């Protein structure tokens, strides 16, 4: 086969970590690459495939390869992703994932793809791929600011004690982000923790980034240029930007029960508050959020989720003040479980979105005409929030206490009122980024450029 012909028939294996916060961006990237005629083989554990099929474009050039999760004592064989797992069980899933190496070697030997695009947690992939002559692209589903602050070699030089982690690493770009609070830095310590003698997340990520042929990042220069440039200097290798991987245009209609409830209120009046499927709060935090939303005087729609095996309704009853649901009936709605977030954000009555600052959720929010209030709880969320509130000045972060991260109902109320009342810079900046994110031609070019960059690597 001629080299040029081979380039035009690229075969890409996509291998995300077993969490839907990781799987979803890999699906989005797969869908966009498949439209360029690339052959896609999507790897995931068997139990995840029904959900993947619901959003992966199953074109003739796309296939899903089911994987078996090896048995590990303490890990239920029914669990194939982190959505129903405690943090301890997620560590067992990493152990099981490490045991998948012979299985992955055999499948890759058979498929003979040109590239494997793999998750940063899967630090053993580069060695297998190199042995088989497969080009290796590590794909970060996180913002560039999170990578630049946490997972660069400079972090080892700057240190990773609690005090060290309140400050950026040496060489970090001069931006609005100069520090984090101690409760946030304490959460970052997890990155460096070893479980059962295995490398911590930081070391896995660094190994992946050092041993791949190129890095792909779910971001763009327009939003995160200084952080991307810092990552390039840290790793001295090509960094290809996929763009923010905006969701496809909305399809379907909002379920009648949600549409009817939202339809009672004037345009831009409702505060929608949701924290994704894997961000959980304690009872005190739930109570303060609910009371803070009530205190705003605005109608609100509060969505909560709980870890697998927890009776969400029972936990909600314990957390909320007695009689709260009845008291706010007609003006406040509290729901446990999944809701169609994109359709709700697009509803004309929704004027404010309170979220956990997951990067995908933030992008969805910026694509809609509703104000953004940021209440991060873990990891990269803290840095995403700073990107939006400080660098881009397109949202408001909820104020929290330095040491333990406490926030009260007044903090929630103040952030919502500030965001909704603003008719100046926050509104203007949000509108600027909304126009950028809904421009289809810009995002098509990100993917077209990525395809050309991959062809040039062969």
DSSP string computed for 193-234: --BTTBPPHHHHHHHHHHHSSEEEES--HHHHHHHHHHHHHH
3-state secondary structure of 345: helix
Whole-prediction pTM value?
0.94
Residue 280, pLDDT score:
87
Alpha-carbon distance 405 to 346, whole Å?
31
User: Does residue 442 register a pLDDT over 60?
Assistant: yes
pLDDT of 64 over the 60 cut = yes
C-alpha 114/C-alpha 132 separation (Å) is: 10
Residue 115: CB atoms within 10 Å: 21
Alpha-carbon torsion (84, 359, 53, 68), positive or negative: negative
**Mean pLDDT, rounded, of the chain:** 93
Q: Is the pLDDT of residue 155 over 60?
A: yes
Res 7: pLDDT = 53
Q: What is the pLDDT of residues 393-407, one digit of tens each?
A: 999 999 999 999 999
Residue 77 predicted with pLDDT over 90: no
Task: Tell me which of 22, 240, 356, 443 is the catalytic residue.
Answer: 22
Residue 250 structure tokens? 């909305």
CA quadruple 310, 21, 248, 442: dihedral sign: positive
Residue 3 has pLDDT above 60, yes or no: no
pLDDT score of 151 more than 80: yes
pLDDT band for position 309 (cuts 50, 70, 90) = low
Is 356 known to be catalytic? no
Closest alpha carbon to 18 in 193, 152, 141: 141
pLDDT range class, residue 18, cuts 50, 70, 90: very high
The string of pLDDT tens digits covering residues 370-395 is: 999 999 999 999 999 999 999 999 99
Query: Which of 109-118, 180-189, 417-426, 433-442 is predicted least confidently?
Result: 417-426
Report CA torsion sign: 195, 198, 203, 206.
negative
**Cα torsion for 67, 70, 72, 76, to the nearest 10°?**
50
**Gap between the Cα atoms of 214 and 212, Å rounded:** 6
Sign of CA dihedral 36, 41, 45, 51: positive
pLDDT at position 312? 81
pLDDT tens digit sequence for 29-48: 999 999 999 999 999 999 99
| Contacts of 241 by beta carbon, 8 Å cutoff, 6+ apart | 216, 217, 219, 220, 221, 228, 446, 450
Say yes or no to pLDDT of 2 above 50: no
Residue 6 pLDDT > 80: no
**Across the chain, which distance is largest between two alpha carbons, in Å?**
72
110 flagged as catalytic: no
| pLDDT at position 87 | 78
pLDDT band at 195 (very low <50, low <70, confident <90, very high): confident
More confident residue, 82 or 289: 289
Q: Which domains does the chain have, with CATH numbers?
A: 3-246+439-457 (3.40.50.2000), 256-437 (3.40.50.2000)
Catalytic, out of 18, 80, 114, 119 = 119
């Amino acid at each position: 086969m001629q080299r040029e012909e081979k380039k035009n028939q690229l075969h890409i294996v996509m291998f995300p970590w077993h969490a839907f916060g990781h799987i979803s961006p890999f699906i989005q990237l797969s869908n966009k690459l498949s439209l360029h005629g690339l052959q896609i083989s999507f790897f995931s554990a068997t139990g995840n495939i029904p959900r993947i099929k619901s959003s992966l474009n199953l074109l003739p050039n796309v296939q899903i390869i089911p994987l078996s999760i090896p048995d590990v004592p303490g890990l239920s064989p029914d669990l194939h992703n982190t959505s129903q797992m405690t943090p301890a069980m997620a560590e067992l899933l990493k152990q099981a994932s490490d045991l998948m190496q012979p299985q992955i070697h055999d499948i890759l030997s058979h498929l003979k793809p040109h590239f494997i695009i793999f998750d940063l947690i899967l630090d053993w992939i580069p060695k297998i791929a190199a042995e088989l002559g497969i080009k290796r692209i590590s794909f970060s589903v996180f913002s560039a600011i999170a990578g630049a602050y946490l997972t660069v070699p400079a972090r080892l030089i700057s240190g990773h004690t609690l005090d060290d982690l309140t400050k950026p690493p040496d060489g970090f770009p001069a931006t609005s982000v100069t520090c984090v609070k101690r409760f946030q830095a304490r959460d970052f310590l997890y990155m460096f923790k070893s479980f059962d003698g295995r490398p911590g997340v930081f070391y896995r990520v660094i190994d992946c980034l050092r041993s791949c042929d190129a890095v792909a990042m779910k971001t763009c220069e327009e939003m995160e240029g200084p952080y991307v440039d810092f990552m390039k200097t840290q790793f001295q290798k090509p960094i290809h930007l996929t763009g923010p991987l905006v969701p496809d245009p909305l399809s379907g209609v909002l379920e009648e029960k949600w549409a009817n409830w939202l339809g009672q209120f004037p345009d831009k009046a409702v505060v929608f508050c949701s924290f994704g499927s894997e961000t959980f709060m304690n009872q005190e935090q739930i109570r303060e959020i609910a009371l803070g939303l009530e205190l705003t005087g605005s109608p609100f729609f509060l969505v909560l989720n709980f870890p697998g095996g927890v009776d969400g309704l029972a936990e909600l009853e314990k957390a909320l003040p007695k009689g709260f649901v009845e008291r706010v009936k007609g003006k406040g709605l509290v729901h446990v479980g999944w809701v169609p977030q994109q359709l709700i954000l697009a509803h004309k009555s929704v004027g404010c979105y309170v979220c956990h600052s997951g990067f995908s959720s933030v992008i969805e929010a910026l694509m809609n005409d509703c104000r953004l209030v940021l209440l991060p709880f873990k990891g990269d969320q803290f840095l995403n929030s700073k990107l939006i509130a400080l660098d881009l000045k397109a949202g408001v972060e909820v104020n929290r206490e330095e040491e333990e991260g406490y926030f009260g109902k007044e903090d929630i109320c103040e952030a919502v009122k500030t965001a909704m009342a603003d008719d100046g810079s926050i509104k203007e900046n949000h509108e600027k980024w909304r126009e950028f994110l809904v421009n289809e031609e810009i995002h098509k070019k990100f993917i077209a450029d990525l395809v050309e960059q991959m062809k040039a690597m062969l």
